[in-house]
Amino acid sequence: MIPVEKLVDHVRTYNPNTNVKLITEAYEYGKLMHENQTRHSGEPYFTHPIEVAALLAQQSLDDATIVTALLHDVIEDTKSTYKDVAKHFGVEVAQLVDGVTKLTNIELSSNDAKQAENVRKLLLAMSKDVRVILVKLGDRLHNMRTIKHMRPEKQQQKAHETMDIFAPLAGRMGMQWMREELEDLSFRVLNPEGRNSILRRFLTLRKQTEDVIPQITQDIRDVLVKANIEAEVIGREKKPYSVWRKMQEKGEGFSRLSDIYAFRIITHSEEDIYRVLGAMHHRWKAVPGRFKDYLSQPKSNGYRSVHTTVSGRDGKRVEIQIRTRQMHDVAESGVAAHWSYKDGRRVENPFAVDPFAWLASLTERFGGTDEQDHEEFLEHVKLDMFADQVFCFTPKGEVIQLPRGATPIDFAYAIHTRIGAACVGAKVDGRRVPLWTRLRNGQSIEITTAEGQRPQSSWADIAVTGRAKSAIRRALREEHREGFVRLGQELARVALEHVGKKPTDKALTTASKKLGLKNKAALLARLGSAEMTGSDLVGALYPELLMESKTDVDLPAAEILGLNPGQFAQPGQCCQPLPGERIVGIATRGKGVVFHTIHCEKLALYEDQTNRWMDLHWTKGRSDPVNNVTIQITIVNDAGVLGRICTLIGEQNANIADMQFTERKPDFYRMMIEIQVRDVEHLHHVITAVEADSDVADVKRTRARIVNTMSQSSKG
């Protein structure tokens, strides 16, 4: 347990005028209140508040925040009351402790309707005093560091909650170091094998190249000395989750990532930033498309820096971030910089963004939101917390701020819902582009509209903003509501009969209320439009039956939505579509429909036959592992490697249906393996597990099917 003297000494390093008596009394009061209480680990409970206080002291925060950290659980977990805290430590501290207590009691791991309302409460509590969330983030970080002592199911719940809410919130508040650690701690719980595969790759890389960070750091320092620039250089490996996320986003293997290492150069002035940039590009080749200037276009959380990626020592790509000391403080501490002290005084950092402005705009924006539209609220909040921003211009020069990855459809809906609904085309910088085009910073967008145009169902997959998605879904629900209700009635019947129940009017009305929907018709419409699953319905009415059931209550296998009555569908053998992928159907002369992935090359054959195209979707929910897909693997030619790869695939609950060697070399084999998986996510888990093996040179999905050479030769 950290002694109070050590905590006070640390606070004194940045605030010599600290109220030692107040912190000491809070320490003794908290210790007394939590006496005889223990944590899951068996340690005295008060070790937790002390660690939270120490975490916040590392951010150079004010006395009130440190005292609140020491007392943040006394109202909830002890006999102490709000009045007691106010009497001993003042109204300011009592209000902060009460705010943290209310945040702790908010249940964030719940259905969308309840979660949306609770996230609203969280944001409103933050808007009153942001220090409340700083203490709560410190509390969550220490709990995640010690999560191994919790029950497995509790670990999963807390990790999901942290990944969905608290980690992005820390990032949105500018506390990037905390966001990265929260994500990585959650990643360790949610996908331990994925995290271990990244760590194994790092270990292999170090064995092959030794520790390159000190080498590259010295290379950069030599360049700075030669250019007569004084600056600090810091090098590090990216966190495992950060690397994993890059692999997901780019669809690339570990070895092809360009920013596994990150180097920060801290300069004395803004002018030196561009001098350093010039020196780096003069010494090494810059990687095209990897330059970002967050000085001229700061992120919405106040982040300022210049990023570039260069081909450095031995051709290794390294990311370099260049910024001043004040910019670095904001990049590391974010909103905490508003309460930071130095030499006994509050530090005024000109680059820090006022967090109250963001919170005020967010709470004001959703203050009057229809409470039934929980999905829109959650998507807005999560995107607002997660996303980097792009700034695009209207033809009149107005700036529209959108999340990274936004499309012209998002741009149109950001201007006005009416513009989005009537959109028929877009021009980017004067050139006609498809509506799925990803927008970039600084582009000028012109939207073409037409009377009578209605939102298309494919738009919901193209759009990324909550505003656009929810508007499109509402329009589609209204247009197809009657059909969705009929389909929803059938899905409700199947789901409830699966657990021995009937879809009575009373049951459906009760379920709609529990799920926060207006009425039975709204519930059935969501079921029919695949925005809700049968398990959601059963879970609302009979949660105990859902827990007891070992199988999902939805249809036993993934099915296709969008077919006409009497039609049947089969997958195209050319692209082997999987549940979770965007699909398009091509109607045949009979009643059959062959469906393909949206990127299948064979669709080009039907470009002039658009009357045969059908917009199809997979139903949501579990599917049986009966979907065949082919992967191509290149492995080292060594004893035991093939057997190990087959075992890895089996451990991921995938079945090997066929196998064929396509190349046999002295040093490696290349082969195609046909496996059976549930969906595209299951396939990704298999590929990741195989790719993590040190004797696998390459693994990727291929659209080519295995040909049975024996049967062909017999025909000849």
Structure-derived torsion over alpha carbons of residues 347, 351, 357, 358, reported in degrees to the nearest 10: -120
- pLDDT at position 529 is 67
Instruction: Say whether pLDDT at 346 is over 80.
Output: no
- pLDDT at position 277 is 94
- pLDDT at position 25 is 95
CA angle 409, 413, 418 (to 5 degrees): 115
CA distance linking residue 338 with residue 129, whole number of Å: 12
501-515 tens-digit pLDDT: 888 888 898 888 888
673-695 tens-digit pLDDT: 988 888 888 888 888 788 877 78
| 713 pLDDT tier (thresholds 50, 70, 90) | very low
535-551 tens-digit pLDDT: 778 888 887 765 554 33
Instruction: Say whether pLDDT at 226 is over 60.
Output: yes
**Higher-confidence position of 699 and 557:** 699
568-617 tens-digit pLDDT: 888 887 888 888 888 888 888 766 788 888 878 888 787 777 778 887 88
- pLDDT at position 557 is 43
- pLDDT at position 694 is 77
Structure tokens at 98: 């009460």
| Residue 76 falls in the annotated catalytic set | yes
Asked if 75 and 68 touch (Cβ cutoff 8 Å), the reply is no
Place of tokens 């499109």: 472
Mean of the pLDDT values across residues 370-380?
49
HSE, CB side, 13 Å, CA atoms: give it for residue 190.
19
HSE, CB side, 13 Å, CA atoms: give it for residue 90.
12
Percent of the chain predicted with pLDDT > 90: 24
CA distance linking residue 479 with residue 454, whole number of Å: 9
3-state SS record for 5-20: HHHHHHHHHHCCCCCH
Kindly name the residue from 43, 62, 73, 77 that is annotated as catalytic.
77
| 410 pLDDT tier (thresholds 50, 70, 90) | very high
- pLDDT at position 709 is 38
| 348 pLDDT tier (thresholds 50, 70, 90) | low
Asked if 305 and 331 touch (Cβ cutoff 8 Å), the reply is yes
312-331 tens-digit pLDDT: 776 677 889 999 988 888 88
| Residue 77 falls in the annotated catalytic set | yes
CA distance linking residue 342 with residue 60, whole number of Å: 8
Structure tokens at 386: 């997660």
Domain 4-190 in CATH 3.30.70.240? no
> DSSP characters for 224-243?
HHHTT--EEEEEEEPPHHHH
Structure tokens at 106: 């908010």
Kindly name the residue from 25, 51, 76, 607 that is annotated as catalytic.
76
| 169 pLDDT tier (thresholds 50, 70, 90) | confident
- pLDDT at position 446 is 93
Q: Report the length, in residues, of the chain.
A: 716
- pLDDT at position 360 is 60
The dihedral sign for the CA sequence 85, 91, 93, 95: positive
First-to-last CA distance in the chain?
80
- pLDDT at position 31 is 93
- CATH number belonging to the domain at 387-476, selected among 3.40.50.300, 3.30.300.20, 3.10.20.30, 3.40.1390.10: 3.10.20.30
95-117 tens-digit pLDDT: 899 888 877 766 555 544 455 55
| 711 pLDDT tier (thresholds 50, 70, 90) | very low
- pLDDT at position 449 is 92
> DSSP characters for 8-59?
HHHHHHH-TT--HHHHHHHHHHHHHHTTT-B-TTSSBTTHHHHHHHHHHHTT
Place of tokens 């419409």: 525
Superfamily of domain 194-346: Beta Polymerase, domain 2 (3.30.460.10)
What is the CATH T-level fold of the domain 627-715, as seen in this structure? Alpha-Beta Plaits (3.30.70)
- pLDDT at position 368 is 42
- pLDDT at position 296 is 78
Residue type, 254: F
Q: Write down the mean pLDDT value for the chain.
A: 80
Q: Name the packing angle between helices 82-89 and 91-104 (round to 10°).
A: 150
Task: Outline where DSSP puts E strands in 405-472.
Answer: 423-428, 431-433, 445-449
Structure tokens at 610: 């658009």
Asked if 197 and 187 touch (Cβ cutoff 8 Å), the reply is no
Question: Ranked by mean pLDDT, which of 94-98, 694-698, 709-713 comes out on top?
Answer: 94-98
- pLDDT at position 49 is 95
Structure tokens at 1: 């347990």
DSSP 116: H
Mean of the pLDDT values across residues 259-263?
78
- pLDDT at position 354 is 65
**Higher-confidence position of 246 and 701:** 701
641-667 tens-digit pLDDT: 888 888 888 888 888 877 788 887 766
Mean of the pLDDT values across residues 611-633?
76
Mean of the pLDDT values across residues 122-151?
84
Question: Ranked by mean pLDDT, which of 40-44, 48-52, 192-196, 666-670 comes out on top?
Answer: 48-52
**Higher-confidence position of 178 and 211:** 178
Asked if 499 and 541 touch (Cβ cutoff 8 Å), the reply is no
Phi-psi region of 405 (alpha: psi -120 to 50; beta: other; left: phi over 0): left
CA distance linking residue 386 with residue 374, whole number of Å: 18
Domain ranges for the chain: 4-190, 194-346, 387-476, 480-548, 560-618, 627-715
CA distance linking residue 458 with residue 441, whole number of Å: 25
CA distances from 648 to 198, 642, 644 (A): 16, 10, 6
- pLDDT at position 298 is 78
CA distance linking residue 479 with residue 439, whole number of Å: 29
Instruction: Say whether pLDDT at 401 is over 60.
Output: yes
